[in-house]
Amino acid sequence: NFMLTQPHSVSESPGKTVTISCTGSSGSIASNFVQWYLQRPGSAPTTIIYHDDQRPSGVPDRFSGSVDRSSNSASLTISGLKTEDEADYYCQSYDSNNVIFGGGTKLTVL
Amino acid sequence: QVHLQESGPGLVKPLETLSLTCGVSGFSISTGYCWDWVRQSPGKGLEWIGSIHYSGTTYANPSLKSRLTISLDTSRNQFSLKLSSVMAADTAMYYCARRTNFYYDSSSYLTGGYFDLWGRGTLVTVSS
C-alpha cells in the first residue's frame, strides 16, 4: 500500500523559511498530484496547495509546493514565517481510487 | 456561498451502526463534484473514509469498505455515511468535504483534485 511519510515536527523562527517534506513509499510520487492542507487546533483542514504547486485563491504566495522525482518526495515551503502559521500540515495524494494522507507535521514558530 | 454541515449522534454503542449526514447548502449535489468523508481520531492524523461522485458512484477506503455505505439524497441535498459494527477505534471527528478538480486517469481510476470545502466536523464517540 502506498504511504506518505512526513516529519513529525519542525520548528523555525518568525521571518525565516521552513520546508516540510512528504516522501512516497513506493513508485513515483510524481505519478499523482500532491496537495497540502493546514489545520489549526479545533478547526477543519484548509487547502493551501493543490496539484503539486497551485495555490487556491486567498492563499498567500509565502506558501509554495514542489515535487522532486529524484527523491520521490514533495515539499511545502513557507517563507516569511508568522506566528499564525503554527499549525499541523498534511500532504495528500492518491493511489488508484484511494485518497492517501501523510501523517502530518506540527509546525512550531518560536 | 456553499456550506457543508455534518449532523448525527455524538455517541454510538460498540457493534452498532454510525450514521452521519452532511447537509449541503448553496449548491445542488447532483450536478457536480465528489462528496467525501474524512475522519480524525483524537490527537491523530487525517484518514480518508470514502467518496461519492455526483453520479452516485462510490469509492471507499479499503480498510473500511466492508463496513461502509455512502449515499446521496438529492431530494434533501445531502449525503450520508453509515459505518457498521463500530469499535472504540472508530471514535473520531468526522468531516464531510467537497472534492473538486478530480479526473479519471488512463486506468479509469478517480484521481486528482482537492478538498476545497469542509464541514466543521462532528465528534463521534463509540462507547457503551
Note whether A94 contacts B48, CB cutoff 8 Å: no
* B-chain residues near A99 (CB < 8 A): 36, 38, 48, 51, 61
Interface with chain A: mutation pick from B1, B5, B34, B46, highest number of A CBs within 10 Å: B46
Q: What is the pLDDT of residue B64?
A: 97
Mean pLDDT by 10 residues, chain A (110 residues): 95 98 85 94 96 95 94 96 97 92 97
> What pLDDT, on a 0 to 100 scale, did the predictor assign at position A97?
86
**β-bridge pairing A63-68 and A73-78:** antiparallel
pLDDT at B21 over 90: yes
Strand B122-126 versus strand B11-12 pairing type: parallel
Chain-centre distance for alpha carbon A52: 9
Q: How many whole angstroms separate alpha carbon B24 and alpha carbon A61? A: 30
pLDDT, residue B105, reads 86
Q: Give the pLDDT mean for B71-91.
A: 97
pLDDT in tens, B3-15: 999 999 999 999 9
Shortest Cα distance, chain B CAs vs residue A14, angstroms? 25
Contact criterion met (CB < 8 Å) for B45 and A47: no
> Is the model's pLDDT at B83 over the cut of 90?
yes
List, for residues B48-58, the tens digit of each pLDDT value: 999 999 999 99
Edge-first strand order for the sheet with B68-73 is B3-7, B18-25, B78-83, B68-73
